[in-house]
Structure 1
Amino acid sequence: MSVTIDIAGLPVERITFAPSPLAELCMALHALSQPAHHPGLASWTTATAAALDRSLAERLLEAEFMWRSSFSDIFMAFAGVPGGTGRPAATLAEELDVLDRMDDERFVMAALEHCWLALYNEGGGPSPLRDPAARAKALEVAAARGPRQLEFSVRLLDDTAAMRVWLRRLLEDCDEAFFAETWQRIEAQQGADARHKTQVLRRKGLAAVLQEVSPALSVDEHHTVITADKMVNGSATATDPAAGRGLVFVPTHFGWPHLLVLHAPGWMPVVHYPLGSPGLPAPGSVELLQRRMEALAHPMRMQLCRSLARAPYTTSELATVYGITAPEVSRHLSALKKAGLLHTRRQGRYAQHQLDLAAVARIGSDFIEGILR
């Protein structure tokens, strides 16, 4: 699975690196709503949540679905307003002004993105502002998500102008309550990262800068398609004259481990990438994760892992312990090794195998605790 971005014929000058205060506010709100996703931000999320005014906290809950489990495209408004610069603005107020220039239909479709995921890669669908069936479907999906989502969706569809004012005021109040101070601390580093990656792009080329952005990004040998290794399928083009020719990379302090790719029809594509976290290993590919999950799903391999987590064993030793043939053990060990979960070293005539606990730990502590219990 992957998201692809068509860049055939795109001049390198149209590939931009720039911070976005509005996009970063979205990630900060996500971290506040999902602190378990971001243990490295625990001190910030705890202190910020504790200091929030009760009224502001309650208002945030009303629109939480736009940043809790998915990330609404309205937070990258610069990519969705035809005729604009196609770049993030320097300040949150300027980016909110760009959002104000977005037409109502596009604003509503982006705000209700959670209702339209099935249509995300199919050119969108009819507007719920004009089409009764689309409105009914949007409200049906919103109701299934919860009463807050339904109430917000009804208000948005019934009085779009008032809800746009409400949302802008909410984001401005977040800026006053906590984000302005936070952005002041991190803006310089994000700007420096954007300038550095721009220089890498110019001096070493696209492939080199993509590897610096994330190991999950790659470009084909002809430099026509960028691929993002993600557990979702999608496609976008950076050369659509209607949306605007260009590709924007936006750094984030609050986003790790999320790598977001805006690939909505009619929008300029955007890659929202986390700044590197020292000491944290690079994320494995989706294909590698799938191989590891499949390797560990077999009950016999689970049992073998129990022994291999404690000490090195030879193939014949494992065959004796578990009452199966040596060729069967070899097949199971081969699957674990292909998944990168096994160390093998030779001791004279014998090969000893042991589980790579560091690799397994990245899958989850419950598995390790289970096999070591």
Structure 2
Amino acid sequence: MFVKQPYREPGGMPIIVAGLRSLQRIHVVVAPLIELGSALHVLGQPKHHGREEWAQNVLAGMSPVLAEQSRTWAWATQAIRATPFVRVTGNSDRNDFSGQVEQMRRIPARELANQLLRPVSGAGDPAAARKWGKSRGPAVTALVDALIDQPQAAVGRFLDFLAATWQEWFRDEWHTVQTDLVSRARQIEDIFQRFGGSAGLDCLDPAVSVRGNSVVIAKVQSRRHDVSRRGLAIAPSAFVHPHVYVANIPGQPLLLIHDAHPDQGVVPSAPAVLSRLTVLAHAGRLEVCRAIASEPRTAGEIAALWGMDPSQVTRHLRALASAGLVRARRQGRFVQYALEVEAVESVGVDLVRLLLR
């Protein structure tokens, strides 16, 4: 019988959300602008969401003008989203689309323009915004320059873009997903009320876990957010998969956007993936893997047949086993090692899942 060696995970690089015990309430948000941010992200990068056909259909139904505007504004909803797409509003009866847009109209143009520049200038530095805007091509360069130099006109273009997007396609999408998102939000709120915030957060996504007074999110990012004073909000989404998006806007509750119906597969942590990559990034260990890929062998047999130092083969096998890439079985007085083929195959898949998370 094969015995899988225990895997010990090294120190990590997750996102830590601390201060849960001080929260009186965790807000569950269902808002069209937050969901529009996720939908526009999918529209710009449909492949890793598995929604190429959906994106093609949406684009095919758009007017040429809106299609061009959508490409020009795509940077506002990618890895870092513009603030309007991740703002938590405290007034739930104004969480309809027209209400959210009306709230934006009341924001001074310069202030709203700075919020829109967040993806290219988190610190609000115009020079940085111009620099990184240029890296996105002429159309984005012109738009970023306009947000800095002519905020009133540029903000008007953004609001017109939102209105056209709602009118031409997102209104129908919102009506399709809204009922499901509201149902999921009520389910989470019910868990909060019956079992507490920790239980509710623990069920959001396989990448999200509660440890004591903190939430741990498996992402390739070392960040710590204390929500004891600022608050925490969560938003179920029909479009955010495969991501778990953490929006850190100063002066706002930390916002966690998660898949409304996540799969329950195991989500690898950054240390787990990094450990396997590190172990495999060695010519000698790869040679040992090749030796046991087709049939189990002992360390001595590997050393003899491949002309390797026995003690080094043993060290390689121990490193591979500790990373879960090799399994061992006792055969009388011998210990044979076999390659965990599925574990090796999963390294690339797990890496992509983690990077997209």
What amino acid is aligned across from residue 35 of structure 1 in structure 2? P
Alignment of 1:205-224 (within 5 A): 205-221=196-212, 223=213
Question: For the residues of structure 1 that align with 2:273 and 2:204, how far apart are their CA atoms?
Answer: 20
Contact persistence 2:41–2:78 (CA under 8 A): yes
SS of corresponding position for 2:268: coil
Residue type matched to 1:251 in 2? P
**Which of these residues, 253, 270, 280, is aligned with residue 296 of structure 1?**
280
Determine if contact 1:28/1:254 at 8 Å carries over to the other structure. yes
Q: 1:238·1:269 contact (CA, 8 Å) conserved in 2?
A: yes
CA contact (8 A) 1:77 1:98 kept: no
Mapped partners of 1:22, 1:151: distance in 2: 24
Residue number in structure 2 paired with 1:112: 117
The one-letter code of the counterpart of 2:32 is: P
Q: Cα RMSD (Å) of the superposition?
A: 2.8
Please, which moves more after superposition, 280-289 or 149-158?
Answer: 280-289
Of residues 70, 85, 94 in structure 1, which corresponds to 2:99? Answer: 94
Separation in 2 of the partners of 1:327 and 1:135? 59
- Give deviations 1:298-336, integer Å, cap 9, x for gaps: 122233333444443333333234322333223222222
What residue in structure 2 maps to residue 4 of structure 1? Answer: 16
CA distance in 2, matches of 1:47, 1:110: 30
Contact 2:88 2:252 in 1 (8 A): no
The one-letter amino acid paired with 1:78 is V
Task: Give the 3-state SS of the residue equivalent to 1:301 in structure 2.
Answer: helix
CA contact (8 A) 1:18 1:88 kept: no
C-alpha contact 2:19 2:226 (8 A) present in aligned 1: yes
User: Structure 2: which 5+ runs fail to align?
Assistant: 1-12, 352-357
CA distance in 2, matches of 1:186, 1:352: 54
CA deviations on 1:3-23 (whole Å, 9 max, x unpaired) are 3334365334x2022322211
| TM-superposition CA deviations, 1:254-278 (whole Å, max 9, x none) | 1112111112322221111123344
Q: Which amino acid aligns with 1:92?
A: F
TM-score by length of 2: 0.83
Give the equivalent residue in structure 2 for 1:330. 314
Query: What is the match of residue 222 of structure 2?
Result: 233
Going from structure 1 to structure 2, the CA distance change for 1:356 and 1:177 (only over 3 Å counts) comes to farther
Instruction: Note the 1:245-324 alignment, pairs <5 A.
Output: 245-278=230-263, 281-324=265-308
Q: Which residue of the partner structure matches residue 78 of structure 2?
A: 68
Post-superposition shift, 1:105? 4.7
State which of 173, 180, 197 in structure 1 corresponds to 2:188.
197
Letter in 2 for 1:157: I
User: Within 5 A, what are the aligned runs for 1:144-159?
Assistant: 144-159=135-150
**1:20 is matched with which residue?**
31
Which residue type is aligned with residue 23 of structure 1?
Answer: I
Relative CO higher for 1 or 2, CA cutoff 8 Å, sep ≥ 6? 2
Does structure 2 retain, via aligned residues, the 8 Å contact 1:236–1:264? no
Aligned equivalents of 2:153, 2:247: Cα separation in 1? 27
| Letter paired with 1:11 | L
SS at match of 2:180: helix
Distance, in Å, in 1 between the alignment partners of 2:33 and 2:134 is 28
Query: Can you give the 5+ residue segments of structure 1 that lack an aligned partner in the other structure?
Result: 118-123, 128-133, 368-373
Task: Confirm or deny: 8 A CA contact 1:31 1:45 kept in the other structure.
Answer: yes
Q: Give the SS at the match of 2:119.
A: helix
Asked if 1:53 corresponds to 2:63, the answer is yes
Q: 1:120: which partner in 2?
A: none
After the TM superposition, which of the residue ranges 201-210 and 148-157 deviates more from structure 2?
Answer: 201-210
Shift of 1:163: 1.9
Taking structure 1 as the reference length, the TM-score comes to: 0.80
Render the CA deviation track for 1:32-81: whole Å, top value 9, x for unaligned: 21122112x233223223333322111111111112343222202235xx
Q: Tell me, in whole angstroms, the C-alpha distance in 2 between the residues paired with 1:354 and 1:50.
A: 52
Q: 1:195 to 1:310 in 2, by over 3 A?
A: farther
Q: Residue 59 and residue 292 in structure 1: after superposition, are their counterparts in 2 closer, same or farther (change >3 A)?
A: same
Q: How far off is 1:89 after superposition?
A: 4.9
Partners of 1:11 and 1:339 in 2: CA distance: 38
Seen in structure 2, the aligned counterparts of structure 1 residues 296 and 77 have a Cα distance that, compared at 3 Å, is: same
Question: SS where residue 22 of structure 2 aligns?
Answer: coil
1:192 positional shift: 1.6
Q: Structure 2 CA distance, aligned partners of 1:144 and 1:68?
A: 14
Amino acid in the other structure paired with 2:72: E
Structure 1 distance, partners of 2:336, 2:173, is: 52
What one-letter code is carried by the residue in structure 2 that aligns with 1:305? C
Q: Which amino acid counterpart does residue 253 of structure 1 have in structure 2?
A: A
**307-316 or 286-295, which deviates more:** 307-316
Alpha-carbon distance in structure 2 between the residues aligned to 1:72 and 1:262: 10
Maintained 8 Å contact 2:84/2:116:
yes
Q: Is the 8 A contact 1:10 1:246 kept in 2?
A: no
Per the TM alignment, residue 25 of structure 1 is displaced from its structure 2 partner at its CA by 1.2
Aligned equivalents of 1:286, 1:335: Cα separation in 2: 18
Question: How much has 1:284 moved relative to structure 2?
Answer: 0.8
1:178-203 CA-to-partner distances (Å, cap 9, x unmatched) read 22222222222222211112222222
